[in-house]
Amino acid sequence: MLTAYDYPTALALDECELDLVLVGDSLGEVELGMDSTRGVTLAMMAHHVAAVDRGLSRTHLVADMTLGSDSTVQTAVLNARTLRDAGANSVKLEGAKIPQVEAIIAAGIPVMGHVGLLPQTAEVYRKQGTTEAEADQIVEDALALDEAGCYCIVIEAVVADVATRVTDAVTAPTIGIAAGATTDGQVLVSTDLVGQLPEPPPFVTPRANVRQIVIDSGRAFADEVRAAQ
């Protein structure tokens, strides 16, 4: 799974034989220049989901529920429908919000779970599952999401051994990010993968340097125009 936030990226990723494309609320940080994901609204998400949907013809599109959009069962179902109507095939919720998960699934919309680091509510970004109690809670949350019917579960920034425990415990496929190599799949922010920002996270090895390509192309254009004056 890779993220996409716009039509051109979606067109390219649709050619990559990915299992899933995620319109994540990470768009707040990597596309909109925000300090966190917390400022992303559902309307923003729907806008970007619609753009990505126009670029996909074969890849399953997942959309993040934003902070507060799943605070109650009623609002969760309503907002999940909004994302579905914008083009999402499924939605992702952070944390073990079991009543909301069950209600969204009952409304006919598949749900992806998310355990470990929860960026929408985390006060500090750190590795999760470093204590026995924390590790047990992550496994318990994943099992509850699995039982509630999530078709897949993201495990973010979790100690590798704990990610293995989760993967072994649940029936749904797991997708890791900064959680070791034993999950069933992996997800990355495409902006980090292609080197579009100055400083990618330490767990990412960029496969390209798109930022430098843009700089070089822009400078070449400016030099060409000035030389012709």
Angle between helices 132-148 and 98-106 (to 10 degrees): 20
Question: What span, in angstroms and rounded, lies between the C-alpha atoms of 172 and 143?
Answer: 9
Band the pLDDT of 125: cuts 50, 70, 90.
confident
Residue 156 is among the residues annotated as catalytic for this protein: yes
Band the pLDDT of 123: cuts 50, 70, 90.
confident
Question: Among the options 140, 156, 199, 224, which is catalytic?
Answer: 156
> What sign has the CA pseudo-torsion 120, 124, 128, 131?
negative
Mean pLDDT along residues 46-58: 98
As a CATH number, domain 2-193 is 3.20.20.60
Band the pLDDT of 122: cuts 50, 70, 90.
confident
| Domain assignments of the chain as residue spans, ordered by start | 2-193, 195-229
- The whole-number pLDDT of residue 200 equals 86
Q: Are 167 and 152 in contact (CB under 8 A)?
A: no
CA atoms within 13 A on the CB side of 160: 3
Q: Whole-model pTM?
A: 0.94
DSSP string, 127-162: -B--SHHHHHHHHHHHHHHHHHT-SEEEEESB-HHH
